[in-house]
Amino acid sequence: MFIDRFRSFFATRWGLVLAGGVIGVLAALLQYAGNPSNMGLCIAGFLRDIAGALGLHREAAVQYIRPEIIGILLGSALSALLYREFKSRLSPASLVQFVLGACAMTGALVFQGCSLRGLLRLAGGDLTALVGLAGFAGGVGIGVWFYKMGFTLGRPQKATAAAAWFAPASMLGLLALLALKPQFSAGGPIFFSVVGVGSLHAAVWISLGASLLVGFLAQRSRFCTMGAVRDVFLMRDTHLLGASVGVVAAAFATNLLLGQVHVGWIDQPAAQPQALWNFLGMLLVGLASALAGGCPTRQLVLAGEGSSDAGIFLLGMLAGAATAHNFNLVEPCVSGSLPVTVLPGGMVAVAVGIVICLGLGFGMRER
């Protein structure tokens, strides 16, 4: 009986606001405990750090196996198993999911954060996040237009049980690597930053405990920044938006109490001040997320529920992070307290990513 009531509560508007509020508080506390400024939680940034730790790129400032990624996915899996929502599924367009994940990561790294971090940057007083969030909404709006034109990735089919367990098992493997810190060859991975954003992190047990709760709540509430904007455009429904509002309000209040609010447009930590590329970078994130069916946070949660599509999207994000740094498309965050600049290669990559997503939107419509 209690489980049934708990299930229905997070489907209500106030349940969504509460879930978002708890996520916002935990994100602010993770920053206070050692995570980078305005980056208590960032799916794109943390996946980039994991890619570096595994040696997929060699940018020394952003290499660390982030326990938050592990915890959110495993917390989602625990919730899905408890409520019998863990199921294996795979769509016919899995390769497209990989490409969309890479595009989303490219846009996020130019903006310096995913949509969740955009909310947290705003809650920390970073007004440049407003431009990025506007771009994100615009990208989702384009995705909704493609929905109305018949865009589809195909109906997900039931996959093998082994496929459903691949993502949770991978997280356990990452956790073992984090705990053991092996070095497989001289000068080789696993890498851990000693300077830069990768070296800034809360204690493992704090990060893991907080993120397990975040994953559980995100799974129960269906938290998704893309879904919230999509529903507003598609159905004029603000129900899901309550969770995002809860994140910003609670994170802002917590940051205020902890002295972590610095309001302004310039000199914001781990951000870049160029409005055009903040907008276009997040437009790419919003468009890729809309076509893929979920923002990066939602994809992490879906992978915990057994979705192979979401797992492939996350692999695409890892590949996107590796490409961005190996080909010098983005500037690494060498300091958690200083802004960064947009490199010419990143501008080209965002433009190419938008063209790819538009091509997929037009090309994958049911006639």
Count of beta carbons in the 10 Å neighbourhood of residue 148? 9
**What digits encode the pLDDT tens for the residues 51-89?**
999 999 999 999 999 999 999 999 999 999 999 999 988
Instruction: Tell me the pLDDT band of 329, cut-offs 50, 70 and 90.
Output: very high
Residue 129 to residue 36: CA distance in whole angstroms:
16
279-300 mean pLDDT: 98
Instruction: Tell me the pLDDT band of 348, cut-offs 50, 70 and 90.
Output: very high
Instruction: Tell me the pLDDT band of 334, cut-offs 50, 70 and 90.
Output: low
330-349 mean pLDDT: 79
Residue 116 to residue 279: CA distance in whole angstroms:
15
pLDDT of residue 48 exceeding 80, the answer is yes
Residue 51 to residue 145: CA distance in whole angstroms:
33
3-class DSSP state of 145: helix
CB 308 within 8 A of CB 302: no
282-291 mean pLDDT: 98
**What digits encode the pLDDT tens for the residues 126-179?**
999 999 999 999 999 999 999 999 999 988 788 778 888 999 999 999 999 999
CB 215 within 8 A of CB 79: yes
SS3 content of the chain, % helix, strand, coil (to 5): 65, 0, 30
Taking CA 233 as the corner, what is the angle to CA 230 and CA 236, rounded to the nearest 5 degrees? 110
3-class DSSP state of 90: strand
pLDDT at 258: 97
324-348 mean pLDDT: 82
pLDDT at 23: 98
Nearest to 341 by CA among 273, 248, 252: 273
6-26 mean pLDDT: 88
Peptide bond between residue 190 and the one before it cis (omega within 30 degrees of 0): yes
Query: Please, what is the average pLDDT of the chain?
Result: 93
For residue 90, the cross-strand partners are 157
Nearest to 346 by CA among 327, 334, 329: 329
**What digits encode the pLDDT tens for the residues 103-139?**
999 999 999 999 999 999 999 999 999 999 999 999 9
CB 39 within 8 A of CB 31: yes
- What percent of the chain shows pLDDT beyond 70? 96
pLDDT at 189: 94
Instruction: Tell me the pLDDT band of 12, cut-offs 50, 70 and 90.
Output: confident
pLDDT of residue 367 exceeding 80, the answer is no
Q: How far is CA 160 from the centre of its chain?
A: 26
pLDDT at 336: 58
277-285 mean pLDDT: 97
- The strand ranges marked E within the chain are 89-90, 157-158
157-158 vs 89-90, strand pairing mode: antiparallel
Amino acid identity for residue 72 in this structure: I
Residue 243 to residue 224: CA distance in whole angstroms:
8
pLDDT at 139: 98
pLDDT at 158: 80
Residue 152 to residue 360: CA distance in whole angstroms:
10
